[in-house]
Amino acid sequence: QVQLVQSGGGSVQAGGSLRLSCAASGFMYNVYTMGWFRQAPGKEREGVASISAGDPGTTHYADSVKGRFTVSRENANATLSLQMSSLRPEDTAMYFCAKCTSRWRRCALVGGDYSDWGQGTQVTVSS
């Protein structure tokens, strides 16, 4: 049974930093692309960052977070992380980690490419 359990997040002032973590279990973590998505109230879900299978994986970022967010993975303990710096009020959203549908597939930053999701964690950035 696939499980993605998120931790981290919270509230911070603009310019601050937060770190999100996602503990994975129930599948062969190291062979799946993993992603981070976010959804703000009244807005569509947005792909934030992804990291491919392997060590190290290849990363991809939404233009809106490039240079500010860093996605990483620890295959030994099946953990996915998102380090967020220089946060802006527009980064406020519920953040979700997600697992790609198929092993070794280079999933894009679109929700349909992912089959399993974490429970979500709130990030609030105040100005």
What confidence tier does 49 reach under pLDDT thresholds 50, 70, 90? very high
Question: In the predicted model, what is the mean pLDDT of residues 88-114?
Answer: 94
What confidence tier does 45 reach under pLDDT thresholds 50, 70, 90? very high
Question: In the predicted model, what is the mean pLDDT of residues 66-75?
Answer: 97
Burial 24-56 (b: 16+ CB within 10 A, else e): beebebbebbbbbbbeeeeeeebbbbbbbbeee
Q: pLDDT digit string (tens) for 108-123? A: 999 899 999 999 999 9
pLDDT value at position 80? 98
pLDDT value at position 55? 79
> Whole-number mean pLDDT of the chain?
96
Q: Is the pLDDT of residue 95 over 90?
A: yes
Helix (H) / strand (E) containing 84: strand 79-84
